Structure 1
Amino acid sequence: MFKFLGYLFLMGYILIPASMAQNHVFVEAESFDNKGGWVIDQQSFAVMQSSYLMAHGMGEPVSDASTTVQFPKAGTYQMWVRTKDWAPYPKGPGQFQMSIDGKPLPTVYGASGNDEWKWYKGERITVKQLQVKLAIQDLTGFNGRCDAILFTESTDFTPPNTLDELTAFRKKQLKLSDQPMEAGHFDLVVVGGGIAGTTAAISGSRLGLKVALIQNRPVLGGNNSSEVRVHLMGDIDKNHYPKLGRIVRELDNGDPGNGNPNAKEYGDARKIAIVKAEKNISLFLNTHVYRLEKQQDIITAVIGRDIATNQEIRFTGSFFSDCTGDGTLGYLAGADFRMGRESQAETGESLASTKADDFTLGTSNLWASTPRDSVSTFPRLPWALQFSDEYHIDEPQSDWQWETGFGNYNTITQAEQIRDHNLRAIYGNWSYLKNNKAEKYAKHKLAWVAYIGGKRESRRILGDHILNQMDVQEGKFYKDGTVTATWTIDLHFPDKKNSQYFEGQEFFAGTKHIRVAPYTIPYRCLYSRNIQNLFMAGRNISTTHVAFGSTRVMRTCGMMGEVVGMAAYVAKKHNTTPRGVYQDYLSDLLVLVKDEPTPQP
């Protein structure tokens, strides 16, 4: 069945570049059948309800993206392009042109001085042949972006810009049905393919559950993938239940460090191969879950959209696990959650903020340069952050400290702005090093810059227990203690010197590691307190902001996923809820945690 669905998805990818309604021809940029050197960015789907194409060339123009557009009839059409100037200081670097049948059109997009997504009016073109080759030509290599292109015969039509109107317009032009394709019914639907989601899927599968693993990128591993390149932290060899963490070990690719320029060090292909070897897992990559169905407090189905083709698919399930990091599934379901810092008065934690606020740990875009045999240059960039002899960061490669957020930005609704601020910092600092420290960096060249942001903190879904500082530091052992955590209480804050020079625009972090003895995370932190069939694993589990500083590292999150897979099995076996597992069948769960389940025939 799923091979057939995959075939339909492929066919959609070929046939969807343009959809026609009335006198409009609408083209989604992410659906171009040849992406060239452009990349798909879906990180702002929650805000835009769409992906887009981006020219991430690190300062060198990327090859053209192109597609064939089918027009309903010959004639004259007005072209519109939806884009933005991502760094308008005063005008940004993301410039590009459109071309028709190999002929570039004169309008240059991406340098308007306006950082809002909007439609820009282009040329009127004459169509003689019904099939036209449309291409996007990058002019700079500095992250120009294109959401969609519209051709219309109307001389007085302006495409909509407001989110609701634009979303309805997209749906109509793309002929997206209110009845998405059906993926089938699953015992466990795991949304999010980071380390936690991947281990949850494998754990459930090996106990015989029929599992859907849904990931909105082309790779698994989340922050540990080659797209983000963060190494795995947290110990798995100090467990109260020593066999827990076995699946994490299978996925672990060693310690390549943060931002290693060699993508293979992060083991993308191996992670996917491990998942595909599980006969009970149906893997759906490039699928962003953005809405769901529920009956009262029970989730019945989730709907995902392919980030390239825009085809939609529906997954029904008995149990769901939110492993998105952002708590997306819980948010859509109406689960109780917190975002930001609690106050000392509320939690009794000495490390909590005096007053509750929206402060969250930030997002990193790591980068690396490598030595070369010859000298290379890098332009001076007036639109980037500006550095000086007095303040710059003298290093050939980033580490975790390159981080933006800290309450200045919302890590969910402003994910694009956070990433863009990181890029302005990276490119600005690199420009300074190349042009002012030639003796050290003349033969270095940027080898890799992450365009996918590596998030640390956003929503935390509340469970029947909210792990706090005292649980962590005092090593409290609850009867449902499962995952053993070992990482310090590691709460980042803006680096003082960075704040001195970039107050309110910090992009560099500091921390104070507060060491803890190994402690256990209660199972009650791994399911929602008000949505009956919702588990969670990863950085969005039920903790305070302070405790989250210790639980958020990926080996620890991976063990959470293993426990969720086991708990889903127990819940199905006894026809109960995640809470029912704790109340009535905890001993069954702990037997699995202790003995490590073996794959079922």
Structure 2
Amino acid sequence: MERRIFFKKGTQGAIAASILPIVGSSCVSTKENGIVLATTNDNAHNPGNPEQWQQMGTGMRANPLRKKIVDFDVVVIGGGAAGICAAVSAARNGSKTILVQDRPVLGGNASSEIRVHLNGVNHLKNGLPERETGIIEELLLLNRFQNPQESFTVWDHVLYDFVTREPNLELLLNTSAMRAEMKDGKIASAICWQLTTEMEYTINGKIFIDCSGDGLLAATSGALYRTGREASSEFNEKYAPEQADGWQMGATVLLSSKDMGKPMLFSPPSFTLKYEAEKSHKGRKLKPFVEGFWWVELGSEDDIIADYEENRHKLMGYAYGVWDYVKNSGKFPEAENYALDWVCSLPGKRESRRFMGDYILSEGDMLGNKQFDDAVAYGGWSLDEHNPGGIENLSEPPSYFHEKFAEVYQIPFRCLYSKNISNLLFAGRNISQTHIALSSSRIMATCALEGQAVGTAASICIKKGVLPRNITESYINELQEQLLRDDAFIPKRPSNNPNDIAKKASLIFASSTLSGDAKFLTDGMSRDIDGNIHHWESDKLPAEIQLEWDNSVNLSKVELKCDTNVKRNLMMRKDSLNDEHFSNQVPEELLKSLSLEARIDGNWVSISSINKNKTRLIKFNFDTIKATAIKIIVKETYGKENVKLFGISCFES
């Protein structure tokens, strides 16, 4: 087929034309609290008959058309890992923010509806993770505290708690962003529809962030995008096809089963499609079968979004067909007592639109470990390109796993905003990148890092009164420093915050040291990496770290970065794996209790204490004091006999 490289749709284009409930253009309304109570309308779909609805409790006669107009600084579309981190970071950095999610739960592919492991950089050549920190780690740690039973439905509500507790952030669930309304080349508002309340929302905003994956808001704004595979010659990509085509990696239906303790018969439903095992590539492994098969997948060489419902029906059939083969082929006697426990009804997506920014990330940038002045995130999952056709292309492996990385690669900020819509940012699988680059960066924890970056960037845009491209031109150092302060990690980019008073300390020392050095706590690197040590570790507990200044300094914040063992994964898995690479518990390295003292007018004064810390980034906030020294007393971890710290920062405000 002839490949369509760029697509451009206006706000009145075909994408939006047939999907929004029809609302008449001529109407007179009575409103209360933003809700239309009575409407007269000459549209045939909404005659405005006052006899239509009589509310018996009040006697009110009203038309059921509901509308709200709301105003926010930052509007985030999509409540997966990227969208959650974008919204939380924007809100925490001072912007009035709304998060719009089209499902009843948050989490996207990681939610209970789909149950994909929230993977990140855990596929390097050395076999070790280089785990993400910042907001996504905070979320995963919270899950370890609140959901030790590892329930996916409880995980949904851990995410819900995490978002709804933010004071500067509002959440709309069951709400789809239908189209963008434009003004002077910028997005002025997102027109949204909330299924459960029959409410049409007009959400006005200054900065819009599309983390929805498919990116309908961005597409209807006129933002340039691509779908399909680039030709190898365009970016000199060795794993791209010789000729460009429309193929996109597909969506997957997952399932799981459990041992019922007795023989369980299985009769396939009517929509089942036979699995032809004899034609299948050996990479389509059927063991272990308890947690299902990630390769029950269907891609598309055309419009993968338009094909979604047809593919969903097929995928349900293929999933049951594979299970029918396991149960009834006679080749898996160990499955006799097993029955299906859960089957996904919402296929998890991997690829559709990729929106074009000022830079397009490609295979060579990743494999060549290109260093970017505007780096704001990183990745390192392998180049994991699923085969065109998915389960309908059985002779090929389900994924090629082209190559693993020796070290993590950088993701530049220029890939995270639109080249032609000036107030549009994006994060997730829809960023500015090639198809081959997407095969690695689509992993959810990597998307979460991009989300934190764009949320933080949006808050800077609001504070400075600028647009995303201006961040690249004038404020990239400020963005990077804020991300590092908030415990994100940028490879080969140490923090050098000029407002960090700890860096000006004349002396830093510890009561005991087993490894590392206390002076490393102000070197700006928040983890040991590339064979270099950047920590201090105590010799037993309790222990103390002390910072001294030649002259008194004003302090109101002290922030620490402790150890959570970033060489071990924290994500919840369906198999509850607990080994050297995966943990299903609160990290035993995490600092649990500590206190802070300050020397004021020559006397040591207790400032604050924390007894049940649950985060890697630990913050002490207090009224401004004038001190010549501070002392941090570390008392207990969640299991380790020593404590390890990676950073100390001090600020006046």
Q: Per the shorter chain, which TM-score range? A: 0.5 to 0.7
Give the distance between the partners of 1:228 and 1:526, measured in 2 at CA. 26
Structure 2, unaligned stretches of length 5 or more? 1-14, 22-42, 54-61, 125-129, 488-558, 560-618, 622-652
1:288: how far off? 0.7
Q: Could you say if the C-alpha distance between residues 223 and 47 of structure 1 is closer, same or farther in structure 2, counting changes exceeding 3 Å?
A: farther
| TM-score between the two structures when normalised by the length of structure 2 | 0.60
- 551-560 vs 244-253, which deviates more? 244-253
Q: Could you say if the C-alpha distance between residues 500 and 448 of structure 1 is closer, same or farther in structure 2, counting changes exceeding 3 Å?
A: closer
Give the distance between the partners of 1:402 and 1:321, measured in 2 at CA. 31
Give the distance between the partners of 2:408 and 2:325, measured in 1 at CA. 44
Secondary structure at the counterpart of residue 303 of structure 2: coil
Q: Is the 8 A contact 1:304 1:312 kept in 2?
A: yes
Secondary structure at the counterpart of residue 399 of structure 2: strand
1:112-127 counterparts in 2 under 5 A? none
1:238-249 counterparts in 2 under 5 A? 245-249=133-137
Q: Is the 8 A contact 2:123 2:381 kept in 1?
A: no
Q: Could you say if the C-alpha distance between residues 228 and 243 of structure 1 is closer, same or farther in structure 2, counting changes exceeding 3 Å?
A: closer
Give the distance between the partners of 2:364 and 2:64, measured in 1 at CA. 49
1:303: how far off? 1.4
Aligned to 1:575: 465
1:370: how far off? 0.8
Give the distance between the partners of 2:451 and 2:122, measured in 1 at CA. 13
1:118-517 counterparts in 2 under 5 A? 181-235=67-121, 245-252=133-140, 263-264=151-152, 267-381=155-269, 383-387=271-275, 390=278, 394-395=286-287, 396-399=289-292, 401-408=294-301, 410-437=303-330, 439-493=333-387, 499-500=393-394, 509-516=398-405, 517=407
Aligned to 1:588: 478
1:253: how far off? 6.3
1:50: how far off? 8.3
Coordinate RMSD, CA, aligned:
3.6
Matched, 1:527 2:426: no
1:321: how far off? 0.2
Give the distance between the partners of 1:446 and 1:275, measured in 2 at CA. 33
Cα displacement string for residues 545-574 of structure 1 (whole angstroms, at most 9, x for unaligned residues)? 111111111111101011111111111111
Cα displacement string for residues 122-146 of structure 1 (whole angstroms, at most 9, x for unaligned residues)? xxxxxxxxxxxxxxxxxxxxxxxxx
Secondary structure at the counterpart of residue 320 of structure 1: strand
Secondary structure at the counterpart of residue 179 of structure 2: strand
1:341: how far off? 0.5
Give the distance between the partners of 1:322 and 1:552, measured in 2 at CA. 15
- Counting matched residue pairs gives 430
1:539: how far off? 0.6
Q: Is the 8 A contact 2:248 2:388 kept in 1?
A: no
% identical equivalent positions: 34
Q: Could you say if the C-alpha distance between residues 421 and 591 of structure 1 is closer, same or farther in structure 2, counting changes exceeding 3 Å?
A: same
Give the distance between the partners of 1:496 and 1:586, measured in 2 at CA. 40
Give the distance between the partners of 2:251 and 2:17, measured in 1 at CA. 17
1:409: how far off? 6.2
Give the distance between the partners of 1:338 and 1:453, measured in 2 at CA. 22
Secondary structure at the counterpart of residue 297 of structure 2: coil
1:244: how far off? 7.2
1:88-127 counterparts in 2 under 5 A? none
Give the distance between the partners of 1:519 and 1:298, measured in 2 at CA. 32
Q: Is the 8 A contact 1:202 1:281 kept in 2?
A: yes
Q: Is the 8 A contact 1:411 1:455 kept in 2?
A: no
Cα displacement string for residues 320-353 of structure 1 (whole angstroms, at most 9, x for unaligned residues)? 0000011222111110000001112222222221
| TM-score between the two structures when normalised by the length of structure 1 | 0.65
One-letter amino acid matched to 1:293: E
Give the distance between the partners of 1:472 and 1:551, measured in 2 at CA. 10
Q: Is the 8 A contact 1:244 1:562 kept in 2?
A: no
Aligned to 1:147: none
Q: Could you say if the C-alpha distance between residues 318 and 237 of structure 1 is closer, same or farther in structure 2, counting changes exceeding 3 Å?
A: farther
Cα displacement string for residues 404-434 of structure 1 (whole angstroms, at most 9, x for unaligned residues)? 3333563311111111111111112323333
One-letter amino acid matched to 1:550: S
Secondary structure at the counterpart of residue 358 of structure 1: coil
Give the distance between the partners of 1:338 and 1:485, measured in 2 at CA. 21
One-letter amino acid matched to 1:417: E
1:477: how far off? 0.8
Q: Could you say if the C-alpha distance between residues 186 and 353 of structure 1 is closer, same or farther in structure 2, counting changes exceeding 3 Å?
A: same
1:27-42 counterparts in 2 under 5 A? none
Q: Is the 8 A contact 2:100 2:173 kept in 1?
A: yes
Cα displacement string for residues 289-323 of structure 1 (whole angstroms, at most 9, x for unaligned residues)? 11221113200111111123432111100000000
Structure 1, unaligned stretches of length 5 or more? 1-44, 52-166
Cα displacement string for residues 150-199 of structure 1 (whole angstroms, at most 9, x for unaligned residues)? xxxxxxxxxxxxxxxxx985999999999863352111000000000000
Q: Is the 8 A contact 1:243 1:594 kept in 2?
A: no
Q: Could you say if the C-alpha distance between residues 171 and 349 of structure 1 is closer, same or farther in structure 2, counting changes exceeding 3 Å?
A: farther
One-letter amino acid matched to 2:88: I
Cα displacement string for residues 497-553 of structure 1 (whole angstroms, at most 9, x for unaligned residues)? 96357xxxx9x8232241122111000101000001000001100001111111111
Give the distance between the partners of 1:596 and 1:359, measured in 2 at CA. 38
- 362-371 vs 586-595, which deviates more? 586-595
Matched, 1:555 2:445: yes
Give the distance between the partners of 1:495 and 1:515, measured in 2 at CA. 23
One-letter amino acid matched to 1:511: Y
Q: Could you say if the C-alpha distance between residues 475 and 381 of structure 1 is closer, same or farther in structure 2, counting changes exceeding 3 Å?
A: same
Give the distance between the partners of 1:411 and 1:385, measured in 2 at CA. 21
Give the distance between the partners of 2:236 and 2:87, measured in 1 at CA. 36
One-letter amino acid matched to 1:452: L
1:488: how far off? 1.3
1:268: how far off? 0.8
- 213-222 vs 436-445, which deviates more? 436-445
Cα displacement string for residues 369-424 of structure 1 (whole angstroms, at most 9, x for unaligned residues)? 11103333222456421246746874433556324333356331111111111111
Give the distance between the partners of 1:171 and 1:325, measured in 2 at CA. 37
Q: Could you say if the C-alpha distance between residues 324 and 529 of structure 1 is closer, same or farther in structure 2, counting changes exceeding 3 Å?
A: same
Give the distance between the partners of 2:368 and 2:140, measured in 1 at CA. 30
Give the distance between the partners of 1:487 and 1:191, measured in 2 at CA. 25
Q: Is the 8 A contact 1:243 1:595 kept in 2?
A: no
Give the distance between the partners of 1:408 and 1:575, measured in 2 at CA. 42
